Amino acid sequence: MFPAKTLKQVIGQEVGISQQMIEKIELWGSMYRGQAPWVDDQIDSLQIEQGICREFSNVCLNEMKSNVSNAKLDKIYQTAISDLNENLQAGIGMGSFCIKPLGGKTVEYVTADRFVPISFDPRGRLTSVVFIQVKRVGEDNFYLRFEFHEWDQSLTLRIQNKAYHTSNVSSIGSPVKLSVVAEWAALPEDVTYKGVERPDFGYYRNPIKNEIDGSACGVSIYDSSIALIRKTDTQFGRLDWEFESGERVVHVDMTALQAAPVVDGKGKTKYVMPKLNKRLYRGLNLTKSGGEELYQEYSPEFRDQSMINGLNAYLRRIEFNTNLSYGDLSDVSDVDKTATEAKIAKKRKYNMVKAIQSNLKDCLEDLVYALAFYNALTQSGYEFICNFKDSILVDEETERQQDRLDLAAGIMRPEEYRAKWYEETEEQAAKRLPSPARTEE
């Protein structure tokens, strides 16, 4: 993204994003791609960020059912959301995203680093925005297009297009005509539509209060865990080094190896021991004196368990900060030791999932209108239906109680109930049922 001051000059008005927010979005994006500032030759990214986003996206969309009553519009809509999961993952990671119709059945998912929010309504829904498209032609030849969408309460939608040319993608460069890029030639420079009831795009943002600059811009799901994710990546680097540095080796005097000397290209003499010298033995200039052995084994005691415990503690704290359940990232075996804590965490995750689904439903509802607008179907009397089944939102205790009722009513078989709640196959559960079979009290 470009600096907020530069964006303001190009757009010609105040923008709804601060420089501080721009820097945060860039950081969230680099973390999501596994390229956080602390990642180097010694520290790898565990890709915790993508794991968090995948978990929330999968849970939110697992049993989502949405459709449009108008058959033609529904077909367009279903095509548009075919890639929703993977793009929702990126949106959750970077705080927000837009779904912008391109005409017909085609849409574009625009991440937070490729659009500039201009204004929001009182509910925090985006009403005016600038989408940025970069077209590269050659090594140092870039064309940028700023697509300005402005909708207001007078039911007016205005769309403007401006093009720029630069040899450095980090700067905007100078204005040029749209026709210099063939695929932009047919785009209008300035067009206004009347009677448009809402913006011509869908906008999603995370249900997290923005404490960065106080704006309505979306905040990454893992923003509050940035320091913890850095510590976790570093801790795993320590664990990795513990295993690498603790590889067993036997220090042996050169004379004990009985290897033939080999002179390399630099005139240095090396002693080569086929097969064994690279796997177990390391030659040293040891001298035998006072009964000292020529062989010295290097086999240090591993401290891996302490490091794993520390790693797991960081993961559990990340789960708390991001509203995941305990065991989503951390070692699930530790969850049983804190059943009450785990139950609270599941309810916390339940609340976050429900809030994400609510914001996503608003986004999809706006998307359907935008698709109807671009396909001349806004007056077709369509109805948008979007439901999230209770099995996603209900907490474990409520679900278990419902299963007990089904068991008592004969709707669920005893072995089916046991298999579900005791992590057994139905064959194993049937063998372990008391005789005569009785339901759980």
| DSSP assignment string, 256-307 | HHTPEEEE-TTS-EEEE-TTTTTTTEEEE-----TT--SEEEE-PPP-HHHH
Pairing relationship of beta strands 384-388 and 295-298 according to DSSP bridges: unpaired
Q: Can you list the pairs that 226-231 forms with residues at least 24 positions away whose Cβ atoms lie under 8 Å? A: 226/27, 226/31, 228/314, 228/317, 228/318, 228/321, 229/31, 229/36, 229/48, 229/49, 229/318, 230/36, 230/38, 231/314
DSSP SS3 for 43: coil
CA dist 311 → 162, 244, 246, 339, 396 (Å): 50, 17, 19, 20, 27
Whether pTM > 0.85 for this model: the answer is: no
Q: Output the CA torsion 18→99→386→389 (10° steps).
A: -70
How far is Cα 229 from Cα 223, in angstroms, rounded to an integer? 10
pLDDT of residue 168: 82
Q: Residue 377 is which amino acid? A: L
How far is Cα 171 from Cα 316, in angstroms, rounded to an integer? 42
Task: Give phi and psi for 55, each to the nearest 5.
Answer: -60, -50
How far is Cα 405 from Cα 359, in angstroms, rounded to an integer? 33
Q: Tell me the two tokens of residue 117.
A: 């929010």
pLDDT of residue 386: 93
Q: Tell me the two tokens of residue 385.
A: 């239906």
pLDDT of residue 390: 60
How far is Cα 361 from Cα 384, in angstroms, rounded to an integer? 10
Q: Residue 370 is which amino acid? A: A
Per-residue pLDDT tens, the chain, 441 aa: give them.
688 888 888 878 888 899 999 999 999 999 999 999 999 888 889 999 999 999 999 999 987 899 999 999 999 999 999 999 999 999 999 999 999 999 888 999 999 999 999 999 988 899 999 999 999 887 888 999 999 999 998 999 999 999 999 988 778 889 999 999 999 999 999 999 999 999 999 999 999 999 999 999 999 999 999 999 999 998 888 777 666 655 555 555 555 555 557 777 777 777 665 444 444 445 455 555 555 554 555 555 655 677 778 888 999 999 999 999 888 898 876 545 556 666 777 788 889 999 999 999 999 999 999 999 999 999 999 999 998 876 555 666 777 888 899 999 999 999 999 888 886 888 888 888 887 645 554
CA dist 213 → 24, 37, 118 (Å): 10, 22, 15
Contacts of 244 (CB under 8 A, 6+ apart): none
Q: Are 77 and 367 in contact (CB under 8 A)?
A: yes
Q: Residue 29 is which amino acid? A: G
